[in-house]
Amino acid sequence: MIKKIRTLSVSVKQMRELDRRAIEDYGIPSIVLMDNAGRVVSETVIKYFPRVKNIAIFCGSGNNGGDGFVAGRYLFNKDRKVSLFLIKKPSEITGDPAINLKILQKLGITPLTLNTFVSLSAGSMKGLPYDLLIDALLGTGTKGEIKGIYADTISLINSAGKPVVAVDVPSGLDADTGKPLGSCIKAKITVTMARMKKGFLKKTARKYTGKIIVADIGIP
């Protein structure tokens, strides 16, 4: 019998260990955890923003982005219009995220790379038809100053004047310290996976996380 790790809030290192144990020790496929995470994000959007119809999802190339792809599929299935924006080209995305991205593409959702979008939007989202934005750019393991296309995209999202739902952590927030790493998403709601992150309990984090929902994604 595997001994469970019981704690109300976790560091990034502890969360990584919980993920590893779920996959390697308990045998839960990583793609199942990703599907659970994305589904809960979509359910949160439907619950708290029931009238929202037009949603833009901003995705990185890692598992956080993969959660965003799954959320997009579930929202599409609920008759929401989903627009998808990627940090990298679809061909550069691998593993579980790539599987979920391909499903979206088969549903007819064509992603646009963020370099192209930032250029076309001239640094502003005002006037664009989105009711809500989902931040699935960067995960809890992010360290160091946010720069380049990530910083540009975060600024773009924050300036949109639309509610933002962050996946696991607002992009640009240090999940251990609760301090911004330069540019940082200001979310209306943060759906964080499996456990509360220690940094979210800090006063500095509050204006970035918004309401925090700890999602059960099946990790023991």
Q: pLDDT (tens digit, 0 to 9) for every residue of the chain, 220 residues total?
A: 455 555 689 999 999 999 999 999 999 999 999 999 999 999 999 999 999 999 999 999 999 999 999 999 999 999 999 999 999 999 999 999 999 999 999 999 999 887 766 654 545 566 678 999 999 999 999 999 999 989 989 998 998 889 999 999 999 999 999 999 999 999 999 999 999 999 999 999 999 999 999 999 999 9
Enter the pTM of the model.
0.94
Q: Report the C-alpha gap between 100 and 34 in whole angstroms.
A: 9
Q: What six digits make up the tokens of 146?
A: 């946010």
Amino acid in position 81: K
Q: Report the C-alpha gap between 82 and 56 in whole angstroms.
A: 6
* Whether 54 contacts 90, CB under 8 Å: no
Residue-range domains of the chain with CATH: 10-215 (3.40.50.10260)
